[in-house]
Structure 1
Amino acid sequence: MTEPRAAWDLPVKERWFCPWCYAWTELGHDPREVSRPQYQPPHERWERADSPELPEDVAHAYDTAYAYTDSGATLCGMVHDDLSVSPYFWMPDRDNACDACKETAVVIDRRWPPEMRDGNRVSPPPLPGSSWPPF
């Protein structure tokens, strides 16, 4: 007998990802019909890229938008088949952070309108009959 899956482990029906501002939206399973994460500053938005082909002394940010093309890349554009996301945040303020990744992160961060930051993102109410609370 298998354990029941938690709601967050269930697959989503559709996912939209903006390669320009890196915002994403999921149309999921019942009861979580729509999920739209809030704005995150650069030091909380990207994980560190992981690959044996990357130099160990430079920390690159994993490009989540590119990952939706079924391959991995860094924010600065390095692409490897074995590139993956690590479980650690990429910290742009550290001395070993890739300068090109930092520049890209700054450009993407400027694309988020100020009125959509700080918890001001408007989400639609849950579908009628949903057991999921408004978020």
Structure 2
Amino acid sequence: MPPTAWEEGIWSCSWCHAATHVGGEWFEISRPPYLPMGMRWGKAVADGLPAGISHAFGIFDKTLCGIQEAGMLPSDHWWLPERKDACGDCREAAGVIDDRWPRAMRGEDARVSVARGL
């Protein structure tokens, strides 16, 4: 069936973690611009995460290092990989993901939104 104005979805790439938003009132297709590592992920918040270690909230309700806890959410604060308490495995995964963004696609106009009428 062709998409309608009332259907909306988000596709997340498990390789580069880019999210593509499809649908909505204007059937918009949007991809986020490149952001540096310290501005790309929120700090993961969940009861089961170990205290004293800051984890990055990735996609599919997991941290970048693969921890999955019930009710995990990103906080309102950025996960900062340069901090001492940042999880080393999350930092390593963030570096690998960051290296996957092509240099030519890191400018302000590299990612755009496209809208079309139904």
Q: What corresponds to 2:15 in structure 1?
A: 20
Which protein, 1 or 2, shows the higher relative CO under an 8 Å CA cutoff with sep ≥ 6? 2
The percent of aligned pairs where both chains have the same amino acid is: 36
- Contact 1:28–1:35 (CA<8 Å) still a contact in 2? no
* Distance in 1 between residues matched to 2:113 and 2:48, nearest whole Å: 43
* Equivalence map 1:53-72=2 (5 Å): 53-64=48-59, 67=60, 72=61
- Contact 2:12–2:20 (CA<8 Å) still a contact in 1? yes
TM-score scaled by length of structure 2 = 0.84
Among residues 64, 71, 76, which one is paired with 1:75 in the alignment? 64
Q: What corresponds to 2:3 in structure 1?
A: none
Q: What corresponds to 1:85 in structure 2?
A: 74
Q: What corresponds to 2:29 in structure 1?
A: 34
1:102/1:12 CA distance change after superposition, 3 Å: farther
* Distance in 2 between residues matched to 1:50 and 1:124, nearest whole Å: 30
Kindly indicate whether residue 110 of structure 2 is the aligned counterpart of residue 126 of structure 1.
no
- Contact 1:12–1:26 (CA<8 Å) still a contact in 2? no
TM-score scaled by length of structure 1 = 0.74
5+ residue gaps, structure 2, are 1-5
1:82, CA displacement in angstroms?
2.8
Q: What corresponds to 1:94 in structure 2?
A: 83
Please provide the CA RMSD for this pair. Answer: 2.0
1:27, CA displacement in angstroms?
1.4
Q: What corresponds to 2:101 in structure 1?
A: 112
1:122/1:62 CA distance change after superposition, 3 Å: closer
* Distance in 2 between residues matched to 1:25 and 1:14, nearest whole Å: 8
* Distance in 2 between residues matched to 1:75 and 1:102, nearest whole Å: 8
- Contact 2:64–2:90 (CA<8 Å) still a contact in 1? yes
Runs of 4+ in 1 over 4 A off after TM superposition: none
Q: What corresponds to 1:43 in structure 2?
A: 38
* Aligned residue-pair number: 113
